[in-house]
Structure 1
Amino acid sequence: MLVQKLSWIILLLLPCQYGVKAKTTLACEGESAVLSCDVGFIKVIKSQYGRTDRTTCASGKKEKSISDTQCSQDTFLHMSAWCDGRKSCSVHATNSIFSDPCNGTYKYLDVSYTCIPAKRSVMCENTQSLIVCDTGVISVHYANYGRRDLVTCPHTSATSTHCYSPQTSSVRSRCDGKKSCLLNASNSVFCDPCYLVNKYLEVTYSCE
């Protein structure tokens, strides 16, 4: 419980740490939540799918479908995997993506996020790359080994955009506090999250 509380405190302090105001986006069930950053990269702070009041996304709905206000599912890990480290991200608010926390209730997806000023490095599968800080030392914000789009590292085996294997802790242990860090994007370093799909390692970091 203490670890969970400390995690929430850290997440809530993120906007203050980077000197930017947190953004929010809301999507009624069946619609899409769109997150975007003109400057910097997305960092999800909090995400909930369900219903906690009778007014949000209530227009034209029957009383029975909006009466349960104790319906809430924490979707932070899902949204973080899909959106962190990207310039923009669109996620459909449906039960097929998020499990249904309350059958028969009309729900909505409520997301808070910030835009972190950072650098981004991408390594296609079976390549190496050096991330460098000319001033300060590396501080990794997010890392994923997989595939979240078809444009990055185009390949005939780029057949899925839902290949997630967050590697933030692993890359932090390798790189944080260093002036430079050599990373190898391969299945021998990071376990293969999607067999036969061509992948890439993406890292967002700052020099602090």
Structure 2
Amino acid sequence: MRGNTMFAYLTTFALLAAACFLPLEAEFLYNVSCHEENIELRCPEGQVIRLEDVNYGPPTPAICGARDQRVGHYSSGCISHVTGIAFSMICNGWEYCRLPGKHRLMNLCDETYFLEVAYSCQKLSKSSKTVNTCVGGTAKLTCDKGYIVIDRTNHGRLDTNTCTEEPENVTWCINPVNSRLDELCGGKTECEVPLNEGDFHHSLECGPPPYYLSVRYSCKL
């Protein structure tokens, strides 16, 4: 069942990911992972990630010593296209994400490699707000003007330290719950959503709890 649900998630995001993989041009940012290092993508405040490309190849000291530089030469056939789809699912629409440098979905044909992720930062609307809520807390969404529009949600874990006393290593636990939040809050001027353990089920690459709810919404006039 878990594998079928995961496939459904990946299929849902396939078109989104395909649209992201464009020819690399100026204004792109890069993060290069060597030796199975985790990957971190970050945009300035008020902007969010759009994944553009994922590449793979043999490492060299020069490549591994410049993690924010474009590599420019790659291998082919050694990385699964599912990697890009999964990375898009995790990162797109958030200011920050942290990805695994090695994962079973990558289907790499060589244990020694670099992994390059190219991404851009897209501006959010001025009315956009993000709320993170821990289990036992209540997400509070308010619009001084206009009504609530749910833009992006996740119940899981996308960083190491939110809602936990001990840093968590697995930060790619995704479970979009847009439809549920839209049902509860969409079209209202204010909304409160209590978060209890077990409210949402997880199906894609989750480590142990605690999880938390992230909601990004905007106020439409």
* Category of TM-score, reference length = shorter chain: 0.5 to 0.7
- CA distance in 2: counterparts of 1:174 and 1:27, whole angstroms: 40
- 1:72-122 deviation digits (Å, cap 9, x = unpaired): 4333454346545654444453x3475333336744222323244331112
Residues matched between the structures, number = 188
Q: Which residue of 2 aligns with 1:27?
A: 32
Cross-structure match for 2:209:
197
- The letter for the 1-side match of 2:176 is Q
The superposition leaves residues 2-29 of structure 1 with CA deviations (integer Å, 9 ceiling, x where unpaired) of x7785358768xxxxxxxx964314153
Q: Please give the residue correspondences for 1:36-47 in structure 2 after superposition, counting only pairs within 5 Å.
A: 36-47=42-53
Q: Where do 1:1-208 residues align within 5 Å?
A: 7=16, 23-30=28-35, 33-50=39-56, 68-74=75-81, 75-80=83-88, 82-84=90-92, 86-91=94-99, 93=101, 95-96=102-103, 99-103=106-110, 106-117=113-124, 118-149=128-159, 151-155=161-165, 160-162=168-170, 164-170=173-179, 171-191=181-201, 197-208=209-220
Return the structure number with greater strand share.
1
Cα distance in 2 for partners of 1:4, 1:70 equals: 21
Moved more, 166-175 or 114-123: 166-175
Paired amino acid for 2:217: Y
Partners of 1:169 and 1:123 lie apart in 2 by 15
Q: Distance in 2 between matches of 1:183 and 1:176?
A: 12
Percent identity of the aligned residues?
A: 21
What TM-score, normalized to structure 1? Answer: 0.63
Equivalent residue letter for 1:131: L
Taking the aligned partners of 2:196 and 2:217, their CA distance within structure 1 comes to: 20
Q: Is the 8 A contact 2:17 2:88 kept in 1?
A: no
Cα gap change, 1:37 to 1:107, in 2 (>3 Å): closer
Note the residue ranges of structure 2 that are not aligned, 5 or more in a row: 1-11, 64-72
How far does the alpha carbon of each residue in 1:142-176 deviate from its partner, in whole angstroms, 9 at most, with x for none? 22223344543345xx5634262422433344333
Cα distance change on mapping 1:148 and 1:7 into 2, 3 Å: closer
For the residue of structure 2 that corresponds to 1:206, the secondary structure is: strand
Q: CA deviation at 1:204?
A: 1.6
